[in-house]
Structure 1
Amino acid sequence: MPAILRLDGYRSYFYSGEGSEPPHVDVEFGDKLAKYWLEPVELASSKRFRSHELGPLRDIVLAHRQTFLRAWYEHFEA
């Protein structure tokens, strides 16, 4: 599971076996998990994040979307 970004306690990554899914990023903060599709940016799932935490988290994903997409395509098209 390549870690793509660590920012303010958030760790962003994807699993190597998920290449059959659309581009996405998994975000972990302590025991909280969320998965965001990247094209377009949409919440796919979340566990233990409160609804008011998901807006700022989406902003982080949007701000780093190109980094996540580049890492996804470099990993799965290599």
Structure 2
Amino acid sequence: MPTILQILGWRLFFYANESQEPMHIHCTKAGMECKYWLDTERFEIFEAYAYNMNSKSRREIRKIIYQHFEYIENAWNEFQLRKY
């Protein structure tokens, strides 16, 4: 499960066994956890789940994902290619 970013206490990462799912990112910080789907055609993200998060932490991680959207997309594609 490679960590691709660590920023403002958030760790953004992928799981190696999820290549059959659409592009997404897992995020954790201080007991909080979430997963966001990335729609690269529309430059949008959608919350798949969130655990122990309030609206402030949701806004914070959404902003981080949008600020690093292209980086996350490229890291996902590279990671998926390396596995095979």
Give yes or no for TM over 0.5: yes
After TM superposition, list the pairs within 5 Å mapping 1:13-24 onto structure 2. Answer: 13-24=13-24
Q: Can you list the C-alpha shifts for 1:32-60, whole angstroms capped at 9, x where unaligned? A: 10101111311111000112321121011
Counterpart Cα distance in 1 of 2:10 and 2:56: 16
Identity of aligned residues (%): 31
**TM-score, normalised with respect to structure 1:** 0.93
Larger relative contact order (C-alpha < 8 A, sep ≥ 6)? Answer: 1
Map of 2:81 onto structure 1:
77
4+ residue stretches of structure 1 with deviation over 3 A?
none
Select which of 47, 51, 56 maps to 1:43.
Answer: 47
Q: Which runs of 5+ in 1 are unaligned?
A: none
**TM-score, normalised with respect to structure 2:** 0.86
Map of 1:57 onto structure 2:
61
